[in-house]
Structure 1
Amino acid sequence: MTRRTALAAAELLAWWAALVVLWLVLISTVYTLELVVGVSAALVGALAACAARRAVTGW
């Protein structure tokens, strides 16, 4: 794994974790299905955030 790949993976993980925490703060009760959907939606959001940053910075 190159340094660039490691940084990209760390960025994706950071975005995902931040979005999951935000989602958990905004809901009251967590059911299994909601947890799966929330984690999946956070992953999609993290991928979009990484792609948007790369589009802006050209990295």
Structure 2
Amino acid sequence: MSPRTTLLAAGELAAWWAGFALLWLVLISTVDTLERVIGAAAAALGALAARSARRAVSGP
């Protein structure tokens, strides 16, 4: 993988993560440290799944 494709992949993952993390924060009722950690982890898993699904449909 070239540095450019690595940077694009990281940017895509960061964009998906930000969207999912924001959605998590909007939907929870209490915002404490544990909720933020769990939300960040869930957003990371969702970002990986979203990128994988997009690549499976449209290719690399």
Match of 2:16 in 1: 15
Compute the TM-score of the two structures, normalised by the length of structure 1. 0.93
Match of 1:48 in 2: 49
Give the superposition deviation at 1:28: 2.0
Q: Which whole-Å deviations, capped at 9, do the CAs of 1:3-50 have from their partners, x for residues lacking one? A: 111100000000000000011111121111111111000000000000
Report how many residues are paired.
Answer: 59
Alignment of 1:39 onto 2:40: yes
In structure 1, stretches of 5+ residues that fail to align are: none
* Percent of aligned positions that are identical: 64
Runs (4 or more) in structure 1 with deviation over 3 Å come to none
Aligned residues: CA RMSD: 1.0
